[in-house]
């Protein structure tokens, strides 16, 4: 940084802002590893997005000789995601007079700015983790992970299904139990599509569970260390076959799922990624993060108003539950 050591000048601040802008412009905010990998990731407009749900499976039924095909209006179901404005938990404000009295605060300002701006890179993944952990109520009136999902909210005679495997170890038997639930979950018409699940993500919050999952589906794969970034995954072909099609796994390490609640260390998920639109969670983006810098120039409003220098960002969008049957939750003992 130009300028003499111990002197905080407008040139110093201007160069800091330019370095922040350069780093910001070099960041691709359209790529969000976790949210893009495991949710329906889409660009939207407006205050919310509404996704219609198909009322039928692709399963066939017999047509008797001389009988008519069955036509009729379908029940209309949809899932909605509300959009909200997102900003850093703590934006930065420092006063020029502070820099003049303690010029070394400029170094601290640069470090703080780096931390604040880094949060913009994975905001959708953070929001997704919050939604997964909160287990919100979905379109069918029960929590997203539940043992009593109505197959069809207006046709109770179709019964219920479960996408919560309960307490099961992440081992061969536990994975099989979770996959059974994933594959047996019916469509809104009550029929099961045996070829619906072809590509599955095993989503885990810890390295210990990552190791277990990898040993199940890709025994020879390299395992990341505890410092590995969120979104790390290993894809592997497996000997499993469903509906005559190859059945592939992807193990996704998502430490953002770990909170202060002890149960989050043990919860793991299997998610159907076969379709890019029919997924268990929805990430809807109106505006990717926009950088907010104020006070670089002595003539800017914030400097004239209160001598302030401000650094922040703003994004607009939302994350919400999608189709419950496209994911199963399990909890290790």
- Give pLDDT tens digits along the chain (333 positions): 333 333 345 566 777 788 888 888 888 887 767 888 899 999 899 999 998 887 665 556 777 787 777 665 566 788 999 999 999 888 887 777 776 677 677 777 778 888 888 888 889 999 999 999 999 999 999 999 999 999 999 889 999 999 999 999 999 999 999 999 999 999 888 888 878 898 999 999 999 999 999 888 875 444 444 444 555 555 544 444 444 446 788 899 999 999 888 889 999 999 999 999 999 999 999 999 998 888 766 666 666 566 677 888 999 999 999 999 999 999 999
Determine how many CB atoms are found less than 10 A away from the CB of residue 305.
Answer: 10
Closest to 280 in 3D by CA, of 182, 159, 158:
182
Q: State whether residue 307 is helix, strand or coil.
A: coil
- Structural domain boundaries of the chain? 32-51+81-331
- Residue pair 95/309 in contact (Cβ under 8 Å)? The answer is yes
CA torsion angle 126 129 130 134 (round to 10): 180
The set of residues, in sequence order, having a beta carbon less than 8 Å from that of 262 and lying 6+ positions away, is none
Determine how many CB atoms are found less than 10 A away from the CB of residue 121.
Answer: 16
Paired tokens of 27: 């960041």
Helix (H) or strand (E) holding 142: none
- Residue pair 320/135 in contact (Cβ under 8 Å)? The answer is no
**Residues for the chain: how many in total?**
333
Predicted local confidence at residue 190, as pLDDT: 87
pTM summary value: 0.81
Predicted local confidence at residue 74, as pLDDT: 61
Interior angle at CA 208, CA 264 and CA 322, nearest 5: 40
Q: 190: which DSSP letter? A: S
| Cross-strand partners of 82 | 48
Paired tokens of 83: 């959009």
- Could you tell me the end-to-end alpha-carbon distance of the chain, in angstroms, rounded to an integer? 53
Closest to 213 in 3D by CA, of 326, 330, 327, 321:
330
Residue 210 CA to residue 224 CA, distance in Å, equals 9
The set of residues, in sequence order, having a beta carbon less than 8 Å from that of 239 and lying 6+ positions away, is none
Q: State whether residue 175 is helix, strand or coil.
A: helix
- Residue pair 129/146 in contact (Cβ under 8 Å)? The answer is no
**Phi (first) and psi of residue 11, to 5 degrees:** -65, -45
The set of residues, in sequence order, having a beta carbon less than 8 Å from that of 226 and lying 6+ positions away, is 207
What Å distances lie between residue 257 and 13, 173, 204, 290, 332, CA to CA?
37, 24, 8, 26, 15
| Cross-strand partners of 308 | 95
């Amino acid at each position: 940084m130009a300028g003499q050591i111990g002197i905080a000048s407008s040139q110093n601040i201007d160069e800091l802002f330019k370095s922040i802008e350069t780093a910001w412009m070099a960041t691709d905010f359209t790529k969000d590893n976790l949210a893009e990998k495991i949710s329906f990731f889409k660009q939207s407009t407006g205050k919310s997005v509404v996704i219609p749900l198909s009322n039928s499976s692709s399963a066939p039924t017999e047509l008797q000789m001389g009988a008519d095909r069955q036509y009729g209006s379908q029940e209309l179901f949809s899932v909605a995601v509300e959009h909200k404005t997102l900003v850093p938990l703590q934006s930065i404000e420092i006063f020029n007079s502070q820099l003049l009295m303690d010029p070394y605060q400029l170094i601290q300002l640069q470090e703080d700015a780096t931390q604040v701006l880094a949060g913009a890179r994975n905001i959708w993944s953070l929001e997704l983790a919050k939604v997964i952990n909160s287990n919100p109520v979905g379109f069918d009136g029960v929590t997203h992970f539940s043992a009593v999902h109505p197959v069809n909210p207006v046709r109770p005679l179709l019964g219920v299904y479960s996408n919560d495997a309960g307490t099961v170890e992440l081992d061969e038997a536990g994975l099989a139990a979770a996959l059974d639930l994933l594959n047996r979950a019916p469509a809104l018409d009550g029929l099961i599509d045996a070829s619906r699940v072809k590509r599955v993500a095993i989503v885990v919050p810890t390295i210990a569970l990552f190791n277990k999952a990898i040993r199940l589906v890709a025994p020879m794969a390299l395992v990341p260390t505890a410092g590995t970034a969120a979104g790390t995954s290993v894809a592997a072909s497996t000997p499993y076959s469903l509906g005559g099609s190859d059945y592939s796994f992807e193990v996704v390490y998502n430490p953002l799922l770990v909170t202060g609640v002890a149960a989050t260390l043990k919860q793991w998920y299997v998610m159907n990624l076969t379709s890019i639109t029919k997924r268990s969670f929805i990430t809807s983006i109106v505006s990717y993060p926009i950088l907010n810098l104020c006070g670089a120039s002595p003539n800017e409003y914030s400097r004239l108003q209160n001598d302030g220098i401000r650094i922040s960002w703003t994004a607009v969008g939302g994350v919400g539950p999608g189709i419950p049957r496209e994911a199963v939750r399990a909890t290790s003992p």
